[in-house]
Amino acid sequence: MTAPFPSSDSQHLCPDILFRTGIISNDKEESPSFESAELVRKDQCLVNLVKKTTASPRKNTLLEGPHTVLSADNTSLAATVDGYPFLSRQRGADTETLSVSLIPLLSIAEDKMEAAITLYPSVPGGHNLTGERLFEILRDNGIQVGLDSKYLQELVHRCDHEQAVLSAQTVARGILPLDGRDSFLRFDIEIGPFPGKILGNGKIDFRERKMFVGVKEGQVIATKIPATAGTPGINVLGAEIPQQAGKDIPVTVSEDAEYDEANGVIRALRSGILSLVNENSIKVCAKQIISGDIDFSTGNIESKDAVEISGSVLSGFEVHTLGDLLINGSVRSASIHCQGNLIIKEGIIGKDSKIQVRGDADFLFMELGHLRSGGRVIIRKQAYYSEIMADGDIHGHEDSQIMAGLLLSGGSISLGSVGSSNAPPTLLGAGIEPERYVRYIQLHSQLHTLEKELQLWLQRHGQQTKGPHRQALQESIRTMNYNLHKLNLAPGTSLDEPEIGLKYLRGISIIVHNTIFAGTHLQIGKACKTVEQDLKAIRFLLSNDGNTLIATDL
């Protein structure tokens, strides 16, 4: 701010400059001369207005510049940080305004994980800076971690030797926290790949699951490796940064296997077939083979075992298994209830097809019907006019084709091509718990009904008319909007923890390797987007604020 003139005799106050500057000349032609200043400390006085025996021809006024502060009586300027001061003057006919701009020595990153300095060469007659003195100044400014006195000395020497300004030189870095490792199962037998797993190169593993792995009575199946706590970090100011401890996975076993919590060992209690659901639920059961189709000759199937069907499941029939299920043919307007993992070698056909699987579902194609999976879903060829919901990721082969229908995933979605110019739009929803999505749609429908009812009431009775029914409708609409705003769709998080849900959703993506057609509806969490034009090889992510979807090229 501009200070008022001090007093009627301010013309007798002249500036007393309390810091030195100098012109630095460099022998190199490409390096022009520049002004340098000596380093001043925080709170150090930079300029005083003092009385002189000889009257000044001008009235002198002090003006605050960056990182300086004016005294209460407007007669002196002081530094608010350690740095390099530079004086500027503005002269009028009978006035002179002086201000000092101070370039800070030290800058600290917003996250306090990095500190950098700016150094100016020493000026003649000024105090020469040393590495030891610079170390002390930085410590005075609170830098506790990462300083190297030898490196600081090298920077000071380099600055004076090169006669150049060294800007934004990093002198300290904090130590990042090391998050703990989640617990996991280390298998003692060969279980084969998990289809849909993201590999180290970012590719998706589409190898077929190894089905019907045999185990013997007493055989160790796996050992649970405990989660680790991790190590806290520390920023450059010495404050501890908490780490995120590894998550413990719950292990469930059937009555045909035992889990010793003391040592983490999981062992088979009888010989049989291993069924591994979502990588942490283990059961051992027998294997049942059914030749041919499931039709009138076999009737409905209800089995406590792992089941292999050599043919198809025909219209109107049901199959219930407690173990894994392998269908070498197709499912045609039939019902499947599988407590393990499901592989359908051919496809799912018909609007009356209803598939419920606790683990992963892997199929060649799907035309109409409904599938609900508690794990991943693998689409190897296509899905048309189908409703597919999964707690885990949904992955289609890079050559897969998705057209119309709904794909809803608790994790990420990766597909080949999506949509068509000749079909209704497809809806892809990622980072959404399916049951919460159903509730979300219900609330939207109820809100729409209430808003329509209020609009009709106002049309009949007038905008200015008051009444208990109008008040009740408006209150219901406010409550519904609040519930919709508060509803957290991210799986594995509490409904009233939107911040945790947002953190989860930032790791979610929708990827289309080939073409996504205009009109396709996308949703991550509650952020929605309709694709306005055909796009190729594209990835959709949630914006930092969680309100919109952004597209990036693959």
Length of the chain: 554
Going by C-alpha positions, the residue among 226, 216, 223, 213 that lies closest to residue 187 is 223
The domain boundary residue, chosen from 171, 189, 224: 171
How does DSSP assign 36-56, residue by residue?
EE--B-TT-EEEEEEE-SSPP
Q: Lowest-confidence range among 3-17, 64-78, 82-96, 482-496?
A: 3-17
Lowest mean pLDDT among 283-297, 346-360, 482-496: 482-496
Residue 491, pLDDT above cutoff 80: yes
Q: Reply yes or no on whether the pLDDT at 145 is more than 50.
A: yes
User: What gap in Å lies between CA 360 and CA 393, rounded to an integer?
Assistant: 10
- For residue 3, pLDDT over 60 is answered with no
Question: Which pLDDT does position 505 carry in this prediction?
Answer: 87
Residue whose C-alpha is closest to residue 196's, from 48, 377, 330: 377
- Residues 314 and 442 grouped into a single domain: no
Residue 307 three-state SS:
strand
Provide the residue type at 209 as one letter: R
Residues 88 and 153 in one domain: yes
pLDDT recorded at residue 53: 62
The mean-pLDDT minimum among 105-114, 131-140, 375-384, 470-479 falls in: 470-479
Specify whether 463 is located in the same domain as 406. no
| Residue 358 and residue 470 in one domain | no
Crossing angle for the helix pair 149-162 and 131-140, to the nearest 10 degrees: 120
Nearest to 526 by CA among 465, 440, 399: 440
Distance CA 154, CA 300 (A): 82
377 and 402 fall within a common domain: yes
Which of 80-89, 251-260, 304-313 shows the lowest mean pLDDT across its residues?
251-260
Look at residue 283 and tell me if it is in a domain: no
Note the pLDDT of residue 6. 43
Q: What is the mean pLDDT of residues 257-273?
A: 91
Asked if the structure places residue 280 within a domain, the reply is: no
Mean pLDDT score across all residues of the chain: 88
In this model, does residue 240 exceed pLDDT 80?
Answer: yes
- Look at residue 194 and tell me if it is in a domain: no
190-204, 367-381, 492-506 — which one is most confidently predicted on average? 367-381
- Indicate the pTM of the whole model: 0.72
For residues 362-383, average pLDDT: 94
Whether residues 328 and 451 share a domain: the answer is no
Clarify whether residues 395 and 363 are in a common domain.
Answer: yes
Q: Which of 188-202, 397-411, 460-474, 530-544 has the lowest mean pLDDT?
A: 188-202
pLDDT exceeds 70 at position 47:
yes
pLDDT at 55 over 70: no
Domain carrying residue 144: 10-171
Q: How confident is the model at residue 113 (pLDDT cuts 50, 70, 90)?
A: very high
Q: Quote the CA–CA distance of 517 and 295 in Å, as a whole number.
A: 40
Q: Is the distance from CB of 87 to CB of 56 less than 8 angstroms?
A: no
Determine contact, residues 550/541, Cβ cutoff 8 Å: yes
Segment 186-235, tens digit of pLDDT: 999 888 877 777 766 667 778 888 888 899 999 999 999 999 999 999 99
Give the percent of the chain with pLDDT over 90. 58
Say whether both 410 and 477 belong to one domain. Answer: no
Identify the band that residue 27 occupies on the pLDDT scale cut at 50, 70 and 90: low
Which of 171, 187, 211 is a domain's end point?
171
- Does 380 map to a domain? yes
Please say which residue of 171, 196, 221 terminates a domain. 171
Whose tokens are 């892997």? That residue is 362
pLDDT in tens, 301-342: 999 889 999 999 999 999 999 999 999 999 999 999 999 999
pLDDT of the residue at 9 = 46
Claim to verify: residue 341 and residue 417 sit in the same structural domain: yes
Q: Which residues contact 334 (CB under 8 A, 6 or more apart)?
A: 294, 313, 314, 315, 316, 317, 318, 319, 350, 352, 353
Confidence of residue 78 (pLDDT cuts 50, 70, 90): very high
Confidence bin at 29 (pLDDT 50/70/90)? low
- 370-376 long-range contacts (CB < 8 A, ≥24 apart) are 372/434, 374/277, 374/278, 375/277, 375/278, 375/341, 376/194, 376/195, 376/196, 376/411
What is the pLDDT, as a whole number, of residue 10?
41
Structural domain contains residue 260 = no
Is 543 found in the same domain as 453? no
Q: Work out the average pLDDT over 19-37.
A: 79
Residue 278 lies in a domain: no
Share of the chain above pLDDT 70, in %: 94
The answer to whether 23 and 33 have CB atoms below 8 angstroms apart is yes
Examine the domain organization and report whether 157 and 103 are in the same domain.
Answer: yes
State residue 30's pLDDT score: 62
Same domain flag for 379 and 474: no
Per the structure block, which two tokens stand in for 20? 């030195």
Domain count, the chain: 3
Q: Is residue 213 part of a domain?
A: no
| Residue 188 within any structural domain of the chain | no
Average pLDDT of span 123-137: 88
